[in-house]
A = this chain, B = another copy of it.
Amino acid sequence: MPSVKSELRSGAYYDSAVLMQLQRGLLDLPGVLDSGVVMGTRANQELLEQSGLLVAELRQAGPNDLLIVVKAETDSLAIEALRQVDTLLSRRRSVVSGTFQPKSLETAVQQLPEAQWVLISVSGRFAAGVAREALALNRHVFLYSDNVSLQDEIEMKRAGQKKGLLVMGPDCGTAIINGIGLGFANRLRRGGIGLVGASGTGLQAITSHIHTLGAGVSHAIGTGGRDLQAEVGAITAHQALAALAHDAETQVIVLVSKPPAPEVGTQLLAASQGLGKPVIVNFIGYPPPGRKLGNLHFATSLSEAAELAVALSLAGSAPPRPAGQPIRGYLRGLFSGGTLAYETLLGLQSALSPIYSNAPLRDSQRLSDPLKSQAHTIVDLGDDVFMVGRLHPMIDNELRLRRLRQEAADPEVGLILLDVVLGEGAHPDPARELAPAIAEIKKARSLEVVAMVIGTDVDPQNIEAQIERLKDAGAIVFRTPTEATDYVARRMGARPVRAGVPVPAEALNRPLAAINVGLESFYTSLVGQGASVVHVDWRPPAGGNEKLAGILAKMKRK
């Protein structure tokens, strides 16, 4: 009958690669049927249990305990295997051989002063400490480690932002800087497409597809998966976008992420509108505002993001210039069509913030009183609340004319947007009533009025005459919500890029030199790619014993 034996080592630190090698080494021993070498987290204990390896004495282990389990044909073979643990651990040989290996980041920087990048892949509980050290030494950070706290991430990114340093990560799987892949990265052709991604395999899938389609990549900057959360505020993504905007090699930019916090997404898109290059946006699982909004192009999948980027880089077209001086006041959209209001809100929420509506896309956008606008506002005047005993605004303009005057009287309003829906059942001549009101407004003060006219050339109202009349009154007229939304976003949307010291252009364009702390395979990969690298023979303070490390830190301070 098979026998399962175990050993628990408290407070010992080994990196993940060492644990994997030990587990495989145990499996190769005579009579061993299965083995498990894991840190004692609840998830890992459950995994051991699923494999029938969780013996009773391990159930009390904590996340910093190392659990070693062997299942062998007999008791004695299992015990013998466990006896080999230290031998197996010591047998492990470093792939980083020959050269002198510094024991600290500080020494490594002295050894390779041109190294602008520090790759960190040590265990999560030590990673922030190493990253802070790197920032203090004025180095950009590629932080592969996961299980780093959000608080640490925010502090590090703010510190980096003040010094013009990038903190890619934590949990950043991928980057390509000046042709050199950091962490996980596909080998690719160089080219004019630059990428920013809060998504490791997202960047890999897009860059691989770009290569397969025959195009190439300038740089791919990872931000870590949480960068676009509200608490972090996309600090790294803002830095990276600005850096790619200034990078001469980058013609087209791709921005990929899981859904951002709404406010963060809006700020990023408003900043992207000001970059002067086409930007392909793929916020996976976030409803796109349409296909295009000024220089922004929205992809609905990773493949499509790659395809759009390649198409735009081949087209080589400059993005459309914003029309005239940007408008600084608020938008007020007064709609008769509920869906037109909704689609317009969808389009504009990505560029204008805060924006409110009585038909909101999310609760935070709900207008507290549908009768009063606040900030940017889109009102559906056909909403049930207005409709008790009143004809629909597509038949009767009364309600809209009153609201139109009310909005025009508000000095904070910069642009009024209307829909005019023609066809059977609708008002026989809406422009006859709307145009004089628009003309009156335009005469009173400088305020833009935009109208989307929905209808066909065979509708009873004579669409051409309706459009002419609205234009004569001073309105700017479009025939689809898409065109109207695109225009309004370009007139009102673009906002300057965030404050902070910009990342210097040379960060991306110097030959890549780096210091690696953690996984040796990342060192090997960098060397293989021709980069200058120093590997730090890093050990956690006090061998990973946190109590002891605390005492040591206290002594140091004294």
Contacts and interface: CB of A to CB of B under 8 A. Distances in A.
Interface stretch (A40-48, A87-95, A110-118, A410-418): A40-48
Interface string A500-527: 0000000000000000000001100100
B225 A338 contact: yes
B396 A208 contact: no
Given A50-B406, A171-B384, A302 B187 contact: no
A460 B187 contact: yes
Contacts of A123: 389
Size band of the A side of the interface?
35 or more
Contact of A288 (B288, B392, B529): B288
Contacts of A19: 389-391
Contact of A184 (B43, B301, B371, B394): B394
A522 B146 CA distance: 64
Contact of A43 (B202, B370, B481): B370
Interface in A366-410: 369-371, 384-392, 394-396, 398-399, 402, 406
A123 B384 CA distance: 12
Given A284-B346, A371-B46, A398-B23, A184 B421 contact: yes
A47 B390 CA distance: 12
B188 A458 contact: yes
Interface string A178-196: 0001011111100000000
Contacts of A399: 47
Given A47-B371, A185-B424, A456-B208, A202 B343 contact: yes
Interface string A6-22: 00000000101101100
B290 A304 contact: yes
A422 B339 contact: no
A184 B424 contact: yes
Nearest to A395: B521
Nearest to A390: B16
B529 A187 contact: no
B388 A201 contact: no
Contact of A147 (B185, B387, B422, B459): B387
A482 B290 contact: no
Contacts of A162: none
Given A187-B424, A187-B460, A406-B50, A200 B338 contact: yes
A38 to B, nearest CB: 6
Contacts of A389: 14, 16, 19, 38-39, 41, 44, 66, 123
Contacts of A323: none
Given A187-B423, A388-B63, A205 B290 contact: no
Given A185-B423, A186-B455, A521-B395, A339 B202 contact: yes
A6 to B, nearest CB: 16
B204 A423 contact: yes
A340 interface: yes
A200 B339 contact: yes
B43 A456 contact: no
A181 B205 CA distance: 47
A222 to B, nearest CB: 11
A201 B300 contact: no
Interface in A158-213: 171, 173, 181, 183-188, 199-202, 204-205, 208-209, 211-212
Contact of A187 (B384, B398, B459, B479): B459
A161 to B, nearest CB: 25
Interface string A299-312: 01111100000000
A400 to B, nearest CB: 12
A456 B17 CA distance: 26
Given A46-B371, A387-B146, A391-B16, A208 B455 contact: yes
A380 to B, nearest CB: 10
A399 to B, nearest CB: 7
Contact of A422 (B186, B346, B426): B186
Contacts of A256: 339
Nearest to A419: B201
A334 to B, nearest CB: 14
B426 A201 contact: no
A425 B459 contact: no
Given A16-B391, A285-B346, A287-B300, 15 more contacts: A19-B390, A20-B391, A44-B389, A46-B371, A187-B458, A199-B339, A200-B338, A201-B339, A201-B421, A212-B456, A225-B338, A284-B343, A288-B288, A290-B303, A301-B481
